[in-house]
Structures are given as C-alpha cells and as structure tokens.
Amino acid sequence: MSYGYKKNLIVKDSVSNTTPYGMVHLEPKEMLQLKLKIADIIEIKNEKNGRITVGKLMSSNNTDIKKGFIYLNWFLRRNLLVNVGESVAIRKLVPKDAEEIEFMGFDKPIRMKNVENLKSKLPTMIFTIGDILSFNLKGRLILIAVKHFTPVCSAVMIKGSTRIICKN
C-alpha cells in the first residue's frame, strides 16, 4: 500500500551520532498534516535525480517550529545524493517481509564466509534497491549495496527467515 507524495520538504541534518541508520525525524506539525505517526515507514525521493530510499519515523525533540523540514542523517542523504537545504518528497508505505535480499560490495568486491554475521547487524532495517550501508564487521569497515530482493516491491525488512546473499 502506498500513498501520494508530499513534496518540497527541506532537508536538515540530524545528528548522526544519535540517530540510528534509517531513522527519520519529521516535525510534529508535518506528521499531523500527513497523517503519519511514530514508527511509520516513509519512502523519501530526491526528485532532482530520481533516487529513492526509505526511513522509519522516530520521535523528535527538535525545537525548530518552522514547517517543511525533514531531518536525515548522512546515511540517508548519501543514498539520496541530496545535500542539506535541498528538497525531497515523501510518502507513507508499508514494506513487505524480505524472502531473500542480495547485497554486493559497493567500493570493492566482498566475500563473506558467514552471512549470519551480516544478518545480525541488519535486523531492524528497511531497504530499497540501491541503498548503501556501512558498518564495522570484525574490525573492518564494510560498504555494501542492496542489489536485489524478493518479493518485488518498493521496500523490504529483514525477518528471521530472510535468506541473505552476498555477491559481487
């Protein structure tokens, strides 16, 4: 299920150290106007380049009362190729449970012997094709991108039964 886009939300920086990957702050007035609530999943689109990512709404303690801001950490801004001050569009969506998700190395080929280590790092994340993730795995910085997933849809979330594949 998806809804129409709300356009021209201005990107502001959320503090990456306190905002987990994939979490989005939206002003309470905007949430009310768009009929959104905490923990809703939204699709975020950079209309200039067509890039799309997804995020989960979390409570915000921002004191900025101006309307029209969305607070994204650098992970999401990188996936969208959007800068602070530029605008994006959002819409609510309901992700499906991933049956299978395939990752590939972003900056170099990856080879993982035990994908369960990777799966343990991703349990609460929501993905769309093209998302880039970075994390520390056994002391090494790993950059991976979402290459493909099933079922075919806008976004998926990993469940215990999800099959993880890492290919180059």
For 149, the token pair is 């997933």
Q: Kindly report the CATH number that applies to the domain delimited by 96-166.
A: 3.10.330.10
State the span(s) of the chain assigned CATH 3.10.330.10.
96-166
Cβ–Cβ < 8 Å for 26, 46? no
Cβ–Cβ < 8 Å for 110, 132? no
Q: What is the pLDDT of residue 32?
A: 82
With tokens 């530029």, the residue in question is 86
Range of weakest confidence among 9-18, 77-86, 129-138, 159-168: 9-18
CATH class of residue range 6-93: mainly beta
CA distances from 149 to 15, 93, 94, 137 (A): 30, 17, 16, 22
Q: Is the pLDDT of residue 19 over 80?
A: no
Q: What is the pLDDT of residue 97?
A: 93
pTM: 0.81
State the span(s) of the chain assigned CATH 2.40.40.20.
6-93
- Output the DSSP codes for 10-61: EEEE--TTTS-TTEEEE-HHHHHHTT--TT-EEEEE-TTT--EEEEEEE---
Cβ–Cβ < 8 Å for 93, 41? yes
pLDDT per residue over 65-90, tens digit each? 566 888 898 889 989 999 999 999 99
